[in-house]
Structure 1
Amino acid sequence: METFSWELAPGLTVKAEPRVKLIKFGDGYEQRVRDGINNDLRLYDVSLNVPRDDAAMIDDFLTRHGGVHAFKWREPNTNRLITVKCPSWSTNVKHTVISITATFEEVVV
């Protein structure tokens, strides 16, 4: 499995939204339980500011994985090597650098 090794720009956003099964009863009582054993996978909004040559390599990497195939990535906050997929990314061409924003979704393989 390939590893995404480019350095991110500051400003990582991490979204946590654990999956929960919920049953509501008529008297206002509700029962909650985790939905599966991997119910707390994270979403990461990442950005990179890179030279044109690096931007082409990053775009090739993400295109090759196509939002379907997972890859390894070192999560900066915890320094854990996790498995993610990238379902969407965008590129903003500036004068000397290219800004890439992407969403990494943690997955279990």
Structure 2
Amino acid sequence: MAIETFTWEPDDEASGESTLKTRKSQFGDNYVQVVGDGINAETDTWTMSFGGVAEEVQPIVDFIRAHRGYRSFLWTPPGGELGLYRCETIGQQRRPGGIVVINLTFERAYHP
């Protein structure tokens, strides 16, 4: 099965965060030994919002649900490079006037 691409643009700014995984050993004299944890030791997450009438945002929700939280898709973060990402959580808000806002958090995935 081909890997699909997430092509929608968020309404406002996208907020990204990178975490570098390390392993640490603390010794009694406050000396700390630190090493990187694996070849994919950096995790990236991006949080963003998409809003509009239900007919506009439903294709986004359908795309995320079709990937069921474990299947990766291609996405290019703002100012970044195309990569594999997953989304496990869909937050929804219903606003007056039939406006729907969905909040998604993408996490970088790695291909084996």
Q: Is 1:104 equivalent to 2:106 in the alignment? A: yes
Deviation for aligned residue 1:23: 0.7
Let me know the Cα RMSD of the aligned residues. 1.2
Q: What TM-score do you get using the length of structure 1 for normalisation?
A: 0.91
Deviations 1:62-91 (A, max 9, x none): 11111110101111122x111100010111
Give 2:51's match in structure 1, choosing from 35, 49, 52.
Answer: 49
Rounded Cα–Cα distance in structure 1 between residues aligned with 2:29 and 2:76:
46
Secondary structure at 1:58 match in 2:
helix
In the other structure, the counterpart of 2:26 is: 24
User: How big is each residue's C-alpha offset from its partner over 1:33-92, in whole Å with a ceiling of 9 and x where there is no partner?
Assistant: 1101111120111111233212111111111111110101111122x1111000101111
Q: Deviations over 1:5-50 (max 9, x none)?
A: 1111222111111110001111110011110111112011111123
**In structure 2, C-alpha distance between the alignment counterparts of 1:63 and 1:35, rounded to whole Å:** 31
Q: Unpaired segments of 5 or more residues in structure 2? A: none
- State whether structure 2 residue 88 is matched by structure 1 residue 87: yes
Q: Take 1:7 and 1:96, find their aligned partners in 2: how far apart are those partners?
A: 20
% same residue: 28
Aligned partners of 2:101 and 2:28: how far apart in 1? Answer: 52
Gaps of 5+ in 1: none
Runs of 4+ in structure 1 off by over 6 angstroms are none
- How many Å apart are 1:102 and its aligned residue? 0.7
TM-score, L = length of structure 2: 0.89
Q: Distance in 1 between the 2:15 and 2:49 partners? A: 9
